[in-house]
């Protein structure tokens, strides 16, 4: 029998901006429960959560960590997450399997940008949420201001359950308006003394108690009637109402903490046990086919893989949540995505970097297993014949791209294997081998994300690599009509080569009229893989060129569009009309007309006012109001056009369109300008013409490169 049944397993995720104290709180919870005998600290690099060498080196969390603690008959699975936006993927995957989120707010800084961004994901998942105002022992702490900001950002559903008697060095007492009790701590924290609410705080405590009751009652008709009848709700009724409101994402209770001094964590854990929902109290999962999957230990077995970690000398460790049934060692489950049958040979409870074997895990619990053959993040494994597939985690698009190269030749295959492994562990890191740019590209969330990838490649895979500026995927087009002809003639003893083509090219746009001075005998429209169109007209009269040679002319044109005349970039949005030519009864063949078509197109292109187009990205920067000026100034130095500024709570959202060529190093630049207080996202918007001086420079650079390659 498992030690805890489904209703006694609680899954929480610790969330918050970097530096809000998540890892310290997790350490506190383990210590309070007696699972560790000494509380580690970030400064001493000995916390249970931040065990990775890279995290200890940097002094902050980079990966989400699964921990667990036991508290008064309940098991609490705790997922500690990183606070930097570069590691959002770790946060989202943890939110996917958690049943309650604990959002830590730094009482000194208030609601920070990272908090706002994480909140968007909690809204999407409809995760029940608790706010924990931390660092109340700091001399600059301001509880009331932090709560005001939380209400401003997240709505009036933010309700105070606790408030500090005083903040700063004198922070020793927390007044709980749910229980109407004051908790008094010693300097060392730990278990508090329970006291009546002091006389000088009764008025405030009574007012907040009444506000809490009214907030709870307003979300439940039955409790509202009881409140009207009695003028009060007892503690059990308040807990029941709070649980229901949290499940519906209607109320977000606020607690007080000093995780550093171990004050308040025990009461928070008690609230998690008594009030926060178990997985079987949350709405059932909906499969991709629309079926409801209840969280029932007696139901059919079903697990969801939310994270994988590669361990040296061991293999891949797959982290999963049991959504239905009871998972036992030796059980065989089907992977709905791949059809592979996987044997669950071992089951583990995980405590940071430590694993302990268990024989079974019930519905609602979170654990890990080793050596699944063909199972990845977002895969659903289920009992045979059930065909369950749970909805996958939607990871955010990348914000940054670099090219990667090995320092030693001949190690490209090893790099490919390393990149595959990184991708398995981190779905937010995308790898692309670009035939257009002739580079291997890494698409990631920012410079810190990239630094972690480089560390893994060098330390885990023993490869020396460097990151270089990615080439820009320019496009080429034309702005006016031009005619050209080309005769290809070659004689070399036997059969020769001959083909002559007269061609007109024009800028193509939707709905453009047919050429008036040409007889159109055939038209083909090609949607180009790289965007835009090629429209190819047969306007030959009198059989000047046999119809069987026109595909060869088209092939020559297409070849040159793959390698544009100006910079070697793809060409797009051009109409080509072949209207005359000559052929030889013996020497004309496909290769002759391919060459003639290519050269005629190249010559016409150069005469048709050619234009280089560059990718333009839509960029949104979320920053505090006092940093809007520096952020806009930096964007404008990057040829950005600022399109507007919107307010989002206490933050400003600067919206701009920026050439991709100017976004190099933007992640680190923004972090430097704002001391990490701003975040951004970007996505492709359109291709637009580059300025004249930049076009001239690009053509000159390409011309030099082409000459060097030819030489």
Give buried/exposed letters for 261-290 (b at 16+ CB in 10 A, else e): bbbbbbbbbebbbebbbbbbbbeebebeee
Q: Per-residue confidence at 648, pLDDT binned at 50, 70, 90?
A: confident
C-alpha span between 374 and 357 (Å, rounded): 22
* pLDDT > 90? residue 122: yes
For the stretch 507-566, pLDDT in tens is 999 999 999 899 999 999 999 999 999 999 999 998 899 999 999 999 999 999 999 999
Q: What is the mean pLDDT of residues 235-247?
A: 93
Q: Are 305 and 320 in contact (CB under 8 A)?
A: yes
Q: What is the mean pLDDT of residues 379-397?
A: 93
For the chain, percent of residues with pLDDT exceeding 70 = 98
For the stretch 426-473, pLDDT in tens is 999 999 999 999 999 999 998 899 999 999 999 989 999 999 999 999
Q: Does the domain formed by 400-468 have CATH 3.40.50.150?
A: no
Q: Does the domain formed by 8-278 have CATH 3.40.50.720?
A: no
For the stretch 127-177, pLDDT in tens is 999 999 999 999 999 999 999 999 988 999 999 999 999 999 999 999 999
pLDDT value at residue 707: 58
pLDDT value at residue 711: 37
Q: Does the domain formed by 476-608 have CATH 3.30.230.10?
A: yes
End-to-end CA distance of the chain, in Å? Answer: 76
| 400-468 matches 612-693 in fold | yes
pLDDT value at residue 2: 67
Tell me how far CA of residue 667 lies from CA of 399, 430, 472, in angstroms.
Answer: 8, 17, 18
pLDDT value at residue 520: 93
Q: What is the mean pLDDT of residues 396-416?
A: 92
pTM, entire model:
0.86
Strand-pairing partners, residue 258, are: 263
Q: What is the mean pLDDT of residues 265-280?
A: 94
Q: What is the mean pLDDT of residues 246-273?
A: 95
C-alpha span between 552 and 545 (Å, rounded): 11
What's the whole-number average pLDDT of the chain? 92
Q: What is the mean pLDDT of residues 6-34?
A: 92
Decide: helix, strand or coil at residue 500: strand
CATH code given to domain 286-382: 2.40.30.10
How deeply is 201 buried, as exposed, middle or buried, from its count of CB atoms within 10 A (0-12, 13-18, 19+)?
Answer: middle
Q: Which fold has domain 612-693?
A: Alpha-Beta Plaits (3.30.70)
Q: Are 38 and 47 in contact (CB under 8 A)?
A: no
Tokens of 253: 């209770």
- The residues, ordered by sequence, that sit 6+ positions from 409 with a Cβ below 8 Å of its Cβ are none
Q: What is the mean pLDDT of residues 78-89?
A: 92
Q: What is the mean pLDDT of residues 237-256?
A: 95
Q: Are 695 and 567 in contact (CB under 8 A)?
A: no
* pLDDT > 60? residue 481: yes
C-alpha span between 180 and 197 (Å, rounded): 7
pLDDT value at residue 493: 67
Tokens of 289: 């086919």
Q: Per-residue confidence at 706, pLDDT binned at 50, 70, 90?
A: low
pLDDT value at residue 105: 97
- Kindly state the DSSP code that residue 469 receives in the 8-state scheme: P
Quick one: angle between helices 447-460 and 666-674, nearest 10?
120
Q: Per-residue confidence at 710, pLDDT binned at 50, 70, 90?
A: very low
* pLDDT > 70? residue 709: no
Q: What is the mean pLDDT of residues 55-62?
A: 80
CA 230 to chain centre: 49
C-alpha span between 694 and 630 (Å, rounded): 26
For the chain, percent of residues with pLDDT exceeding 90 = 76
C-alpha span between 350 and 356 (Å, rounded): 7
pLDDT value at residue 99: 97
Long-range interactions of 227-234: CB distance < 8 A, separation 24+: none
Domain spans of the chain, in order of start? 8-278, 286-382, 400-468, 476-608, 612-693
Which helix (DSSP H) or strand (DSSP E) does residue 69 occupy? Answer: strand 65-71
Residue in 447, 452, 465, 455 with CA at minimum distance from that of residue 400: 447
């Amino acid at each position: 029998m498992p030690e805890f049944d489904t209703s006694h397993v609680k899954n929480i995720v610790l969330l918050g901006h970097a530096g809000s104290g998540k890892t310290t709180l997790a350490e506190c919870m383990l210590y309070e429960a007696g699972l560790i005998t000494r509380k580690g600290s970030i400064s001493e690099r000995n916390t249970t959560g931040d065990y990775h060498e890279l995290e200890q080196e940097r002094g902050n969390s980079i990966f989400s960590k699964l921990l667990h603690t036991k508290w008064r008959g309940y098991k609490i699975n705790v997922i500690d997450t990183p606070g930097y936006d570069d590691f959002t993927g770790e946060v989202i995957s943890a939110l996917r399997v958690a049943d309650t989120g604990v959002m830590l707010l730094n009482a000194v800084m208030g609601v920070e940008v990272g908090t706002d961004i994480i909140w968007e994901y909690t809204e999407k998942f409809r995760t029940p949420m608790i706010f924990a105002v931390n660092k109340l022992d700091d001399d600059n702490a301001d509880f009331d201001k932090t709560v005001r900001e939380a209400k401003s950002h997240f709505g009036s559903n933010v309700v105070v359950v606790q408030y500090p008697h005083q903040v700063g060095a004198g922070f020793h007492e927390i007044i709980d308006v749910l229980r109407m009790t004051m908790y008094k701590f010693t300097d060392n924290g730990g278990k508090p003394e329970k006291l009546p609410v002091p006389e000088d705080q009764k008025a405030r405590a009574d007012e907040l108690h009444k506000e809490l009751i009214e907030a709870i009652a307003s979300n439940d008709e039955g409790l509202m009637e009881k409140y009207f009848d009695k003028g009060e709700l007892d503690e059990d009724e308040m807990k029941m109402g709070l649980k229901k409101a949290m499940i519906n994402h209607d109320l977000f209770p606020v607690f007080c903490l000093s995780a550093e001094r171990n004050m308040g964590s025990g009461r928070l854990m008690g609230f998690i046990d008594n009030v926060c929902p178990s997985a079987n109290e949350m709405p059932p999962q909906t499969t991709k086919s629309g079926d409801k999957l209840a969280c029932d230990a007696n139901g059919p077995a079903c697990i969801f893989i939310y994270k994988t970690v590669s361990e040296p000398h061991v293999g891949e460790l797959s982290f999963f949540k049991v959504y239905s049934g009871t998972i036992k060692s030796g059980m065989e489950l089907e992977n709905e995505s791949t059809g592979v049958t996987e044997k669950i040979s071992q089951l583990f409870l995980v405590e940071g970097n430590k694993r302990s074997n268990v024989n079974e895990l019930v519905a609602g619990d979170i654990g890990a297993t080793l050596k699944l053959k063909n199972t990845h993040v977002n895969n659903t494994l289920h009992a045979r014949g059930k065909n369950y597939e749970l909805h996958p985690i939607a990871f955010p698009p990348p914000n940054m791209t670099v090219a990667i190269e090995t320092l030693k030749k001949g190690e490209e295959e090893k790099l490919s294997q390393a990149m595959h492994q990184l991708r398995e562990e981190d779905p937010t890191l995308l790898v692309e081998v670009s035939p257009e740019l002739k580079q291997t590209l890494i698409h990631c969330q920012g410079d810190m994300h990239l630094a972690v990838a480089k560390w893994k490649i060098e330390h885990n895979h023993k490869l020396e690599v460097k990151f270089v500026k990615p080439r820009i995927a320019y496009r080429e087009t034309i702005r006016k009509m031009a005619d050209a002809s080309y005769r290809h003639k070659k004689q070399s003893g036997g059969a020769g080569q001959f083909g002559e083509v007269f061609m007109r090219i024009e800028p193509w746009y939707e709905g453009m009229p047919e050429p008036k001075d040409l007889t159109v005998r055939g038209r083909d429209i090609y949607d180009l893989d790289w965007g835009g169109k090629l429209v190819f007209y047969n306007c030959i009269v009198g059989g000047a060129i046999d119809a069987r040679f026109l595909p060869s002319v088209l092939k020559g044109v297409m070849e040159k569009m793959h390698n544009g005349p100006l910079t070697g970039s793809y060409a797009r949005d051009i109409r080509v009309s072949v209207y005359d030519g000559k052929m030889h009864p013996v020497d004309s063949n496909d290769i002759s007309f391919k060459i003639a078509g290519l050269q005629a197109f190249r010559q016409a292109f150069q005469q048709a006012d050619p234009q280089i187009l560059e990718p333009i990205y839509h960029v949104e920067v979320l920053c505090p109001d006092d940093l809007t000026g520096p952020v806009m100034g930096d964007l404008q130095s990057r040829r950005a056009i600022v399109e507007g500024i919107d307010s989002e709570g206490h933050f400003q959202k600067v919206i701009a369109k920026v050439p991709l060529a100017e976004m190099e190093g933007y992640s680190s630049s923004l972090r430097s300008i704002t001391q990490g207080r701003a975040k951004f996202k970007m996505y492709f918007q359109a291709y637009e013409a580059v300025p004249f001086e930049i076009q001239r420079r690009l053509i000159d650079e390409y011309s030099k490169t082409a000459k060097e390659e030819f030489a």
